[in-house]
Amino acid sequence: MTEPHHDATGAAPAGAALARLLGGTDRERFATTYWGRTLHLADAAARGDDAFADLFSLDAVDELITDRGLRTPFLRVARDGSTLPERAFTAGGGIGAGIADQVSDDKLLNLFADGATIVLQGLHRTWGPIREFSADLAAELGHPVQVNAYITPPQNQGFDDHYDVHDVFVLQIHGEKRWALRQPVLDAPLRDQLWTDRRGEVEARAAEPAHTETTLRPGDCLYLPRGWIHSARALGGVSAHLTIGVHQWTRHHLAEALLERSRGGLRDATQVRASLPLGADLTDAASLAEDVELAREALVEAIRSLPADDIVGVLRGRERAAQRPSPIAPLAQLAAVEKLAIEDELRLRPHLMVDVLPGSSEEEVVVSSRAGRFRMPATHLPLLRLLLDEGRVEVRALAAEENEALELARSWLRHGVALRGCAAQGAFGAA
């Protein structure tokens, strides 16, 4: 039986990331009044004049473009409401880098000067401060997140009125941007219900007076539920904002999981495996009505018999694949294995999402997480639970014998489950 554990990371106080976005609105009020329902705006003053400077800046934009060797799809460019082809802003990597889609800073210079919007995608993977913040936020929300940045020239609009199929937190980083917000033409759209499929309805709604118009300034944070129609225009100077896209798990995902897991039960039903009548006429629904009803009842019964744990487990597996654990430095981690001492402390690696699965025998268990899988003696399970529950454990507490304690601790380090606790001395510094 699977034993899921919540990470006791200690990386940030519980609820700190969401509270930072909401300002004076507490979590419970946000959950019952705004989440998935309506707009929420927390201006910089309500948020303690926090301008998100530690997360992102225009200097960060230049560093990502100039020094990080970005390739598509980590950057795209939009102008006049449309996304430009990749060749418009990429070039070859030169000698020793046989690629053709590396971002060209020279092309971006000209495009931005001509009014194009730069979109930096996947910042939850490419920019450290955002990577840490977004991982904490995803853990708090219970839904995966992604982060993009939009850098818009003065008096320009990057995209036409549209809606997103995920919720969005907009964090204004630099400059000012005027937002026009309108109610949905489709409430809570799913991920395949794109606005382009309802372009006419969206354009008609965009022609109506806006539900809300607001100017975001540095430190302002706007929450938009999926489906809300929006457009934004930079005012006066260069504008930069982050969008945190929240890819919600929905009841539709649960229904999909029910259908997916019910197939096994249907295979076990003899009456479902039986052939249709000889000479079955697939153009005559009435002649097969009894067979359709039999299959329907078998499907309903298979769905009813599925335990809720199995269904939630399907989404848990998808959630594990949707995010990564806190990053790890491979060379430094191996150095920590070599230097590990009995007086050291192990820290749980943040955002692992650990499950304990049965092994091939009662003597072992399988530890499954975002870092991968490994087998472990079942006798070590109480010690692993201690690390998972407390977030840290002393090496000497793992076993009475020093060598045994060190070997277990080194195993957890090698498998990326734990980090050496004396990180303040540097990855390769003296122990």
The pLDDT, as a whole number, for residue 12 is 54
The pLDDT, as a whole number, for residue 2 is 61
What angle, 0 to 180 degrees and rounded to 10, lies between the N-to-C axes of helices 381-390 and 402-414?
A: 60
- List, in sequence order, every residue forming a beta bridge with 235; answer none if it has no partner: 176
Nearest CA among 332, 345, 124, 146 for reference residue 246? 146
Topology of domain 7-246, per CATH?
Jelly Rolls (2.60.120)
Q: Tell how strand 167-182 and strand 90-91 pair up.
A: unpaired
The one-character DSSP state at 38 is S
CA distance 337 to 427: 11
Q: Which CATH number fits domain 330-425: 3.90.930.40, 2.60.40.1180, 3.30.230.70, 3.65.10.10?
A: 3.90.930.40
DSSP H helical segments within 152-249, as ranges? 199-206
The pLDDT, as a whole number, for residue 414 is 97
The one-character DSSP state at 350 is T
The pLDDT, as a whole number, for residue 10 is 41
CA distance 86 to 73: 9
- List, in sequence order, every residue forming a beta bridge with 82; answer none if it has no partner: 79
The pLDDT, as a whole number, for residue 91 is 93
| Cβ atoms within 10 Å, residue 163 | 24
- Which residue type occupies 169? F
Domain segments of the chain: what residues? 7-246, 251-321, 330-425
The pLDDT, as a whole number, for residue 151 is 96
- Kindly give, in sequence order, each residue whose CB lies less than 8 Å from that of residue 142, ignoring residues fewer than 6 positions away: 249
| Cβ atoms within 10 Å, residue 384 | 23
What's the start-to-end Cα distance of the chain, in Å? 40
Q: Tell how strand 345-348 and strand 418-420 pair up.
A: antiparallel
CA distance 98 to 80: 32
Contact 323, 351 (CB under 8 A): yes
Contact 428, 335 (CB under 8 A): yes
pLDDT averaged over consecutive 10-residue blocks of the chain (431 residues)? 53 79 96 97 96 97 95 93 92 83 95 95 96 96 97 83 97 96 97 96 97 97 98 91 97 96 90 93 94 95 95 94 94 96 96 95 96 96 96 96 97 97 46 38
